[in-house]
Structure 1
Amino acid sequence: MGKFRAYWVDLKDINPAEVRTYEYLLDDQFFTDIDGTEVRQGHVNVQLKVEHKASAFQMTFHLEGTVILPCDRCLDHMKQPIETNNRLTVKLGKEYTEESDEVLVVSEDEGGVNLAWFLYEFVALAVPMKHVHAPGECNRTMAAKLRKHAAYSTDDEDEADDETDEADSNAEDAPIDPRWDALKQLKDEE
């Protein structure tokens, strides 16, 4: 954990009712060191507020920045903006346990918590399930190959981009395998 020493928050140093703020920058080196599978590059600013309340420490995170991900459509790298707010409650106890997604107990002997993995998880969870380039920005070669092998629904508006009309006209001119004629007739009847 030597690489992540900067993300250690010593809770024993925070007095009751005291509020401390921390700022972190999650850059390409952070994502390389953490070696997660979801996000491997990015530039994310983190503001952390730690408030000592009674027997617990309330942590409030605000993360904002950009991560680099493969486009789901063309597989080229794309910038995905993210912004998220998260909370974590940390208590001191006998041993490390995660009571829930937002409540953590750390050993009194350690007296602190390393937030590196939590920060990575917050970033990964802020990434939308579907991440694609804006219409017209996908790699044209890869998008053409995808359209060649994909079936589109007439209701699927978000999948279409600027090149779709041209590809459709080229597809209509191409000879159709006669085995698919029966299916095409069913589609035309609807």
Structure 2
Amino acid sequence: MKPLKEFTIPFVGLKIGKHHFEYKIEQAFFEHFEYEEFNNVKIQVDVELEKKTTLLELHFKTSGYVNINCDLTNEPFNQTIKNEFDLVVKFGEEYNDENIDILIVPHGTYEINIQQYIYELIVLAVPIKRVHPGIEDGTLNSEILEKLEELSPKLKENKDTNEEIDPRWNTLKKLLTDK
């Protein structure tokens, strides 16, 4: 996959200290990754890069929303996204990204591309079970939701205490009360 130029940070010319970068993530970003789970995206990503003499520290902070479909009703809704992530970039003999929080790049590297980290940060912030907020508070009117209510098993509201109980259960209940 070809890296997007706007997510490449040339850190070699930066002074030692903190530097801020802002990115606006929209649907085109996820189309580049061929990720089709989102209907629409509007996310602000703030990256704080702290350059030190021997390493780089990156702090990612995302906020915004993604428009996704509900798992129960397939109705689209805006899911709020907030997430943070810290990454340490060290210099070594060869490229190594086996550790989640530490990236090792070869000596002589002068820039770093952060698009993959932003992509993963946003995708992992979306809940596994996507439920429309209207389902929880009862404000969503949907044909699918009505059909689910109609087909759901009904609980017996009027329990008759005179129901016939298997006598074996009565014997077992005595074990609980015989102390």
Give the TM-score taking structure 1 as reference length. Answer: 0.71
Structure 1: gaps (5+ residues): 155-167, 169-184
Q: For the pair shown, which has the larger CA radius of gyration, 1 or 2?
A: 2
How far apart are the structure 2 equivalents of 1:54 and 1:99?
A: 23
Where does residue 159 of structure 1 map in the other structure?
Answer: none
Inter-CA distance 146–13: structure 2 relative to 1 (3 Å threshold): farther
Q: Which runs of 5+ in 2 are unaligned?
A: 157-163, 166-179
- Find runs of 4+ consecutive structure 1 residues off by over 6 angstroms: none
The alpha carbon displacement at 1:7 in A equals 0.3
Preserved contact between residue 56 and residue 89 of structure 1 (Cα < 8 Å): yes
Supply the RMSD in Å over aligned alpha carbons. Answer: 2.8
Contact kept, 8 Å, 2:30 with 2:36, in 1: the verdict is: no
1:76–1:139 contact (8 Å) kept in structure 2: no
Question: Please, what TM-score do these two structures have when normalized by structure 2?
Answer: 0.75
Of 103-112 and 63-72, more deviation after overlay is shown by 103-112
1:97 and 1:40, CA in 2 relative to 1: closer, same or farther beyond 3 A?
farther
Distance of aligned partners of 1:117 and 1:31 in 2 relative to their CA distance in 1, 3 Å threshold: same
- Indicate yes or no: 2:102 matched with 1:100: no
1:5 aligns with 2:5: yes
Q: 1:142 aligns with which of 140, 144, 162?
A: 144
SS of equivalent to 1:117: helix
The 5 A counterparts of 1:1-190 are: 4-15=4-15, 17-36=16-35, 38-39=37-38, 41-134=40-133, 135-138=137-140, 140-151=142-153
- Contact 2:92/2:107, CA 8 A, preserved across alignment: yes
- Aligned positions, number: 157
Deviation at 1:18, TM superposition (A): 2.0
